[in-house]
Amino acid sequence: MTAYVIRRIWQMIPTIFGVILLIFLLFNWVGGDPAQVLAGKISNPDQIANIRRQLGVDQPYWYQLWVFVKQVFTFDFGRSWSTNEEVSHILLTRVGPTLTIMVPVLVIETSLAVLLAIGVAYVRGTLKDRSIMIVCTVAMSISFLVYIIVFQWLFGFILGWFPVQGWSESFWKNLGTYAPLPIMLAVFVGLAPELRLYRSFFLDEINQDYVRTARAKGVPEKRVMMKHVLRNAMIPILTNVAIYLPGVFVGSFLLEVFFSIPGLGREVVTAVNRSDFPVIKAVTVYLAVITMVINLLVDVMYKFVDPRVSFK
Amino acid sequence: MSAVLKNPPAARPQESPGLWMLAWRRLRQDRVGMVSLVIVVFFLLMMVASYTGLIAKDWSKERGVSYANPSFLAGAENLEAKAMAQKEAAKAPTVDLSDIDPLAPRYKEWAERAAKIAVTETKRSETLPFGGDKWGRDVLQKTIKGSEVSIFVGLTGALLAMFIGTVFGALAGYVGGRVNDFFEWFYNIFTSIPYILLILSFAAVATATGKFGKGIVPIVAILSLTGWTGIYRLMRAEYIKHVNREYVQAAKAIGASNLSRMFRHILPNVSHVALVQLSQNTVQFIKAEVILSFLGFGVPVDMVSWGTMLAEAQNELVIGKWWQLAAAGAAMAILVTAFSILTDSLRDALDPKLK
Amino acid sequence: MSDNRSDPGLRRGDSAQHLLLQVQDLDVAFRVERKGEPFRAVKGISFDIGRNRTVALVGESGSGKSVSAMAILGLLPDNAIVSPQSRILYEGRDLLKASMGELQAIRGKDISVIFQEPMTSLNPVFTVGEQIAEVLRLHMGLGVRAAHARAIELLNEVGIPSPQLRVNSYPHEMSGGQQQRVMIAMAIACEPKLLIADEPTTALDVTIQKQILDLVAGLQSRHNMSVLFITHDLGVVGEIADDVVVMQNGEIQEQGTVRDIFERPQHAYTKALLACRPRLDRRPKRLPVIDDFMRGQGPVHIEERRRGTSPADAIILEVKDLTKTFFLKEGLFGKRAVPAVQQVSFRLPKGKTIGLVGESGSGKTTVGLTVMRLHEATGGQVLFEGKDLLALTEREMMAYRRRIQIIFQNPYASLNPRFTVGQILVEPMKIHGIGANEKERVEHAFHLLKRVGLPEASFYKYPHEFSGGQRQRIAIARCLTMKPDVLICDESVSALDVSVQAQVLNLLQDLQDEYKLSYIFISHDLAVVKYISDRVMVMNQGRIVEMADSDEIYRQPREEYTRKLLSSIPKGLEKAADLTE
């Protein structure tokens, strides 16, 4: 297995370099001279000159690329073009609030989706099944924005159960007061597509030959679902969760924007508004690396979930 | 000879159902699918009509009073409109400055001349069919125009993405080897970056510089350049599956060229996958465009889309003006639901297992 | 083998004590589309299963045999409709009317099933031991450890080596034959009274098939079980069955003891099934086909065809030291070499057939594909009219492509589903410049369709409108458009029903007689290969084990592997033939 891990890490290197290259091409080459980008946004000419010097704008491109690569590996992207805060500091402080929201969302949503999907798969074909699926389809077609606007208005403004916006310094206060509404919202909206997807996973498994064998052995239908089918369906379900795992770090930027949560997502949106390139570049590159690492961990974990997987 | 069947006297060309005809027949039997198809076609027609100016041409004209009520709520209070009217009225101070004003003697002359020119000044109406926004623009017309923009962006973006993804996927799956390695590397780069971040990165550069073009070109470019990965994955898998199928081997055996095998033989067998994915991507891109426009990175400010309408609607709800939210939200919900159901029905109708 | 075969034995109407299960008026239909007519798969059949008897349920694909068997335990899919008059009587109860709880108590305990595809029938995420233990704990109330121990015993009984180690293996870690043994272990764990075996050996190699059949027979006598054996292979039936039920299109055409059926077949269909299959001991000029019987013409005694090669034959194709190695990635940076074909040499005489025989993994298919350059060979030469085809560039190869053609195994995959038959036939003509204009090409296509026995109207149809046998004919016609010299038949009849197989073999033989074609006939089916080949090559693990004229190799096999292969063939038909003559 160590050979497998080493080979995977070896394979990750060209991809990481590719990501760096892509971001560089996008921001430094297409994006061009910071002077033009920031014209009208920063009035201080010295500041602009500073930035230009740091990036090496007047140097040939390969030098600029080298600067960027250095930045990535030393974790030092300089300072934000708009707030002048150190980019690394920005990244580290904003991750916390994002995770405070997203981790509970992931856990609650996945568990609920699996439970409901089993239930729906059990009664497949009946009116209950079809009506739930129709509700899901319609629910999925309403924009997330509409949900946020309505929920905020309903629960925060009208009913006053939760504060409409805000964040505090204390973790527990956040979890108890400020987080519940956004978490509830995210779970509510995310449930419909996941339920549909997981239901299809369960149905795929139910049609397999080994289910017929289990029934032929006299295994009662409930046990067929909960033991035989569930165990097999967990494989695609875990694949699905693994795909969403990196997204946990970015968070739902819409939620953060609407609820004024100082998380990574909101930070990126603000940066886009202000053309604050260093922040965007840093977040993008590091999240790409995190994604690759998570993928590797998940693939290794697969061995314990799916016995058919072998490492070559 | 082991002949089993007798030959008919003359061979007449018959209507033999190919894949698409069979799929169409199956789709026709799916009632829900047909309804969705009708709805989607309706929206598409509306889009064309709006584009050619048949309807919703004057969406940006401020025809109504501020926050005009919808026709079905004609009698309701409109405090904002009253406040605006009062503000306007309060604007003109009646002070006679004729003794210090050098132009004073000419006013009367100009007023007479102006009265001769017939100017149609539209009086702002109190109500609009589905209400008005803050500037008195007709919400109904905005919704129609917004549909045009959102659907057009979604559809063209999806078509472009499908084209890119199919070509890349076909090459990677069919040729394999180093070509495959290159495309896989490319694909990995794009998928290592979380989708939202990728879009926002492109959006950042697009809005900061003008280098992606003007109007709706940037957002279409952003969506297609970031959204091709899904179809790439599918088409590559399909091509890999089909390359080893016996009918392709047979084509090689009779001497068909590589290009012929890739596009004459295999493509017709996998195009249904592309179609379903196109449908899905359109939905996905419409949703994405709405969010991007909401944040201000989507369509430019002089255009309207469902996203810009929702952006305005956010603050309107607090003061009780819900019609823009309802109109945009409902229109989008109907279209997306219909499209999603259509996608599922298409997939069922094209089910290749029946072959 | 069961001793009951000579027993004048059980006929219908015997007292119910001897009967374990009675199927009466079974009628099963499937709801295919929402509005359409349901498809009747089984049309009111009745048969009995006696105690300690092996009943073979025989039929071709679509006969309804599997459906009937699955109905016994209520294992039909959701869209199945069983008619209310149908009854399946077991120990005084009608299983069709039993509650789910009652059925579940019987399944796996009194009546168990083994299926055709053991790989997919076993749950991939549980160990073999866990799956066997499950049925023990469910029905016999054994605890975890006791069940585990018993599972090891059962694995031993079914012939799995090192059972105490294998009990913790996962299904994908075992071969097809071993997986099937595990299925059997699961099925007999609770000492059932009836074992339903749904084509359990169809997916296995012939040597493994023999082992499994012996195992089932042994278990049957030791445990006093009845067996309901579903198969399409009459050879197997002759070897293991006591009673036979012959089905066609959802109806029973004939039933009786194996002796009755083989000695005195009454129904035309039964007679046809018995006669169509190529036998090892004779070689008629034409194989009888079902139509001959259905029209009332009995098996005419057809003269035999002599086959064989002589050193004076003109050689059209010579293969020298053909080698093909596949390279798989392994380890950190390494590659593993898998030698699929090693140093294969042979000569194909003009107008004759060389049979290439072997089990799965022997490399026989790879030989065919490599000769055609559909795979690139690693070494060796393929000499055609003096030129080494492997050394040509792709462009030079084009001139030779039309001279050597191939017919694949899977009739459902070898024709492009999106092309009409006409397009399929005309394309090769266009590529090779055959025919001066479109009109000529279309005429030629019509002519060929007639030649292979299909109506001209087929030109405008799509492949999915044809049956398997008809699609193979289209594939043959496609090859003929180019007027090839050599035809490689890669398991071309293996996926076809027996009756259709006979028709296609006859067609191939007619074409060889008429056009002097030379064939390389690749198959795992020894009887078919002997029938159609002049010379036979036996392959094992990439090498040629033995090569001789066909009569000689079957009469006097020299190598051990060849002997093992020949002894594994079910000889039911030959034994039956002995009875009649």
What are the pLDDT digits (tens) for A117-140?
Answer: 999 988 887 888 888 988 998 888
Pick A209's closest partner by Cβ from C109, C120, C134. Answer: C120
The answer on pLDDT for C9 being more than 60 is: no
pLDDT digits (tens, 9 = 90+) for C488-511: 999 988 888 888 888 899 999 999
Compare all CA atoms of chain C with the CA of A213 and give the residue at the minimum distance.
Answer: C121
The answer on pLDDT for B296 being more than 70 is: yes
Average pLDDT of the residues in B319-324: 80
**Predicted pLDDT of residue C580:** 52
Residue A260 contacts residue B173 (beta carbons within 8 Å): no
Q: Which of B13, B240, B354 is nearest to C417 (CA)?
A: B354
DSSP per-residue letters across C282-303: --BSS---HHHHHTT-----PP
- What are C54's two structure tokens? 């092996």
Helix (H) or strand (E) holding C389: none
Q: Percent of chain B beyond pLDDT 70? A: 79
Cα distance from C470 to chain B (closest Cα, Å)? 10
Q: Check A280 against B204: CB less than 8 A apart.
A: yes
Average pLDDT of the residues in C335-351: 89
pLDDT grade, residue C4 (50/70/90)?
very low
d(CA C367, CA C344): 8
Query: What CATH number is given for B140-327 in this structure?
Result: 1.10.3720.10
- What are B218's two structure tokens? 């940037």
Residue B233 contacts residue B290 (beta carbons within 8 Å): no
Pick B14's closest partner by Cβ from C453, C460, C482. Answer: C460
Average pLDDT of the residues in C180-209: 91
Q: C78 to chain A: which residues are within 8 Å by CB?
A: 125
**Predicted pLDDT of residue B88:** 61
d(CA B157, CA B217): 10
Provide the residue ranges of all domains of chain B, joining segments of one domain with +: 140-327
**For the ranges B102-111, C88-97, C269-278, C304-313, the one whose mean pLDDT is highest:** C88-97
Residue B314 contacts residue B134 (beta carbons within 8 Å): no
**Predicted pLDDT of residue B159:** 95
pLDDT digits (tens, 9 = 90+) for C362-395: 889 999 999 999 888 999 999 998 888 888 888 8
Residues of A with CB under 8 A from a CB of C: 3, 6-7, 125, 208-210, 212-221, 228, 231-232, 235, 306-308, 312
Confirm or reject contact between C32 and chain B (CB < 8 A): no
Query: How many domains in chain C?
Result: 1
Only one residue has tokens 């099925």, namely C187
Tell me what ipTM this predicted complex has.
0.85
Confirm or reject contact between B1 and chain C (CB < 8 A): yes
Look at residue C42 and give its three-state secondary structure. strand
DSSP per-residue letters across B36-59: HHHHHHHHHHHHHHHHTTSSSTTT
- What are C96's two structure tokens? 């069709």
Residue C549 contacts residue C536 (beta carbons within 8 Å): yes
Q: C405 to chain B: which residues are within 8 Å by CB?
A: 253-254
SS3 for chain A is CHHHHHHHHHHHHHHHHHHHHHHHHHHHHHCCCHHHHHECCECCHHHHHHHHHHHCCCCCHHHHHHHHHHHHHHCCCCECCCCCCEHHHHHHHHHHHHHHHHHHHHHHHHHHHHHHHHHHHHCCCCHHHHHHHHHHHHHHHCCHHHHHHHHHHHHHHHCCCCCCCCCCCCHHHHHHHHCHHHHHHHHHHHHHHHHHHHHHHHHHHHCCHHHHHHHHCCCCHHHHHHHHHHHHHHHHHHHHHHHHCCHHHHCCHHHHHHCCCCCHHHHHHHHHHCCCHHHHHHHHHHHHHHHHHHHHHHHHHHHHHCCCCCCC
pLDDT grade, residue C324 (50/70/90)?
very high
The answer on pLDDT for B354 being more than 60 is: no
Q: How far apart are the first and last CA of chain B?
A: 30
pLDDT digits (tens, 9 = 90+) for B12-27: 445 567 778 888 888 8
CB within 8 Å of chain B, chain C residues 489-508: 503, 506-507
pLDDT grade, residue C300 (50/70/90)?
low
**Predicted pLDDT of residue B11:** 43
**Predicted pLDDT of residue B108:** 74
Strands C194-198 and C111-114, by their bridges, are parallel
The answer on pLDDT for B1 being more than 60 is: no
pLDDT digits (tens, 9 = 90+) for B62-103: 766 667 777 666 656 666 666 666 666 565 555 666 667 777
d(CA C425, CA C475): 9
Helix (H) or strand (E) holding C181: helix C176-188
Which positions ≥6 away from C386 have C-beta within 8 Å?
A: none
d(CA C244, CA B232): 54
Q: Check B250 against C286: CB less than 8 A apart.
A: no
Q: How far is CA C527 from CA A290, C357, C409, C566, C569, in A?
A: 61, 10, 17, 9, 8
Q: B274 to chain C: which residues are within 8 Å by CB?
A: none
Cα distance from B341 to chain A (closest Cα, Å)? 8
Q: A143 to chain B: which residues are within 8 Å by CB?
A: 287, 290-291, 306, 310, 329, 332-333
d(CA C202, CA C204): 6
d(CA A237, CA A241): 6
Average pLDDT of the residues in C281-299: 72
Only one residue has tokens 């239930």, namely A119
Pick B209's closest partner by Cβ from A37, A272, A273. Answer: A37
d(CA B306, CA B308): 6
pLDDT grade, residue C47 (50/70/90)?
very high
Q: Which of C520, C299, C485 is nearest to C404 (CA)?
A: C485
For residue C26, the Cα-to-chain-centroid distance in whole angstroms is 27
- Looking at A195-199, B266-270, C13-17, C340-344, which range is the least confident one? C13-17
d(CA A175, CA A103): 11
The answer on pLDDT for A260 being more than 80 is: yes
Give helix A180-206 / helix A127-141 axis angle, nearest 10°: 130
d(CA C90, CA C85): 16
Quote the mean pLDDT of chain B. 81
* Position A150, amino acid: V
Pick A213's closest partner by Cβ from C104, C121, C332. Answer: C121
For C356-366, letters b (16+ CB in 10 Å) and e give bbbbeebbbbb
Cα distance from C354 to chain B (closest Cα, Å)? 20
For C1-36, letters b (16+ CB in 10 Å) and e give eeebbeeebbeeeeeeeebbbbbbebbbbbeeeeee
Residue B193 contacts residue A291 (beta carbons within 8 Å): yes
d(CA B190, CA B192): 6
Among B40, B191, B197, which would you mutate to test the A interface (most chain A Cβ atoms within 10 Å of its Cβ)? B197
Residue B56: phi, psi to the nearest 5?
A: 55, 30
Which positions ≥6 away from B261 have C-beta within 8 Å?
A: B174, B248, B251, B252
DSSP at C447 = H
Average pLDDT of the residues in C325-351: 82
**Predicted pLDDT of residue B177:** 87
- What are A280's two structure tokens? 């965007």
Pick B337's closest partner by Cβ from A141, A144, A292. Answer: A141
- What are B34's two structure tokens? 């047909």
- Looking at B188-202, C83-97, C320-334, which range is the least confident one? C320-334
* Beta-bridge partner residues of C353: C519
pLDDT grade, residue B352 (50/70/90)?
very low
Q: Give the number of residues written for chain A.
A: 312
pLDDT digits (tens, 9 = 90+) for C136-164: 999 998 999 999 999 999 999 999 999 99
The answer on pLDDT for B135 being more than 90 is: no
Give helix A61-74 / helix A277-305 axis angle, nearest 10°: 60
| Residue range of the domain that includes C452 | 351-373+392-580
Which positions ≥6 away from B236 have C-beta within 8 Å?
A: B168, B169, B170, B172, B173, B180, B183
Helix (H) or strand (E) holding C89: strand C87-90
d(CA C262, CA C575): 9
Cα distance from A170 to chain B (closest Cα, Å)? 28
d(CA C290, CA A78): 85
pLDDT digits (tens, 9 = 90+) for C93-129: 899 999 999 999 999 999 999 998 888 999 999 999 9
**Predicted pLDDT of residue B335:** 92
Specify if C72 maps to a domain: no
- Looking at B143-157, B309-323, C180-194, C209-223, which range is the least confident one? B309-323
pLDDT digits (tens, 9 = 90+) for C529-559: 988 999 999 999 999 999 998 888 888 889 9
Q: Which of C21, C22, C23, C30 is nearest to C82 (CA)?
A: C30
Q: Check B253 against C374: CB less than 8 A apart.
A: yes
Among A272, A277, A287, which would you mutate to test the B interface (most chain B Cβ atoms within 10 Å of its Cβ)? A272
- What are B192's two structure tokens? 């290592």
Q: How far is CA A228 from CA A34, A86, A209, A214, C24, in A?
A: 59, 53, 11, 8, 34
pLDDT digits (tens, 9 = 90+) for A33-80: 777 777 666 667 777 777 777 777 777 778 888 888 888 888 877 777
For residue C264, the Cα-to-chain-centroid distance in whole angstroms is 26
Burial class (CB within 10 angstroms; exposed 0-12, middle 13-18, buried 19+) of A45:
exposed
* Beta-bridge partner residues of C197: C114, C229
Quote the mean pLDDT of chain C. 87
d(CA A22, CA C216): 63
pLDDT digits (tens, 9 = 90+) for A189-227: 889 989 989 998 998 898 889 999 999 999 999 999 999
DSSP at C469 = H
Pick A280's closest partner by Cβ from B201, B333, B335. Answer: B201
Average pLDDT of the residues in C419-432: 92
Compare all CA atoms of chain B with the CA of C513 and give the residue at the minimum distance.
Answer: B1
- What are C465's two structure tokens? 């409108």
Specify if C105 maps to a domain: no
CATH number at C411 reads 3.40.50.300
Pick A275's closest partner by Cβ from B208, B211, B295. Answer: B208
pLDDT grade, residue C25 (50/70/90)?
very high
The answer on pLDDT for C209 being more than 70 is: yes
**Predicted pLDDT of residue C575:** 64
Pick A216's closest partner by Cβ from C112, C123, C331. Answer: C112
Longest dimension (CA), chain B: 121
Among C75, C107, C115, C125, which would you mutate to test the A interface (most chain A Cβ atoms within 10 Å of its Cβ)? C125
CA dihedral C252, C50, C122, A233 (to 10 degrees): 70
User: Which chains are adjacent to chain A, needing at least 3 Cβ pairs under 8 Å?
Assistant: B, C
Burial class (CB within 10 angstroms; exposed 0-12, middle 13-18, buried 19+) of B164:
middle
Q: How far is CA B209 from CA A40, A50, A54, B199, B205, in A?
A: 12, 20, 20, 15, 6
Q: Check A217 against C135: CB less than 8 A apart.
A: yes
- What are A33's two structure tokens? 């001279």
pLDDT digits (tens, 9 = 90+) for B194-247: 888 899 899 888 887 777 777 888 899 999 999 999 999 999 999 999 998 889
Compare all CA atoms of chain C with the CA of A219 and give the residue at the minimum distance.
Answer: C104
Which positions ≥6 away from C346 have C-beta within 8 Å?
A: C318, C319, C354, C537, C544, C547
